[in-house]
Amino acid sequence: MSRSPVSVSRVGVDDEQAFAPLWIESRVAVGQTADWARRAVREGRIRDALLRDDIRIYVAKADGAQLGFVVVTHSPLSGLNDDAAAWIDQLWVDPAHRRTGVARELLRMAARYAEYIGANQLVSCVPAQEKDSNRYFARLGFAPSVTSRSTSPGALRRRLAGDEQESTSEAVVRRRRSLRARTAARVGLARGTGI
């Protein structure tokens, strides 16, 4: 039995309620609660995104069922650079439909959108710990370009001011790392290998 062809279309404001269950499912799959996701929908998170000119949401369907989606935004790569870039903000495929070409079709649409806006780069932010996703994007020609790190403004302000005390757990981890490094150095010297 052959699979039905996958079609990809843009999600419009009128499609918000039909798209919402798929988005909620994707948020639960990445560790957020269903209550949080439903509340975000009620508060207008999807509607607000659909109303923005710099965001496009595309959904993949087959036989009327939604299989996955991609959220693409556009902005410069840098605040001092005016070259347009398209950003793959979210790419999610229902686990039952993975490895069937759904993500490929969604990425084709992302590439078309990037070309449409004249973007020189198509960027995907993939969490470092997601090895399979990183391998997938690497096979498609996405090269690593930056390491993103984040903190809250308050935590940064406290660290910069030097008024935050090191927590007990941070102190234990720091001491363990120091002990391991010193032990490794002694073992290396004893073996004559050095570091």
**Strand order across the 55-62 sheet:** 7-10, 55-62, 65-76, 84-93, 121-124
Question: Which residues have CB under 8 Å from 107's CB, separation 6+?
Answer: 70, 88, 91, 140
Residue 39 CA: distances (Å) to CA of 17, 36, 52, 55: 13, 5, 20, 21
pTM of the model: 0.74
Dump pLDDT digits (tens) for 57-70: 999 999 999 999 99
Give the Cα-Cα-Cα angle 108, 109, 110 (nearest 5 degrees): 90
Residue 74: closest CA among 57, 60, 91, 55: 55
Residue 147 CA: distances (Å) to CA of 84, 127, 128, 150: 20, 10, 9, 10
Check residue 117 and give its pLDDT: 93
Dump pLDDT digits (tens) for 72-128: 999 887 778 778 889 999 999 999 999 999 999 999 999 999 999 999 889 998 888
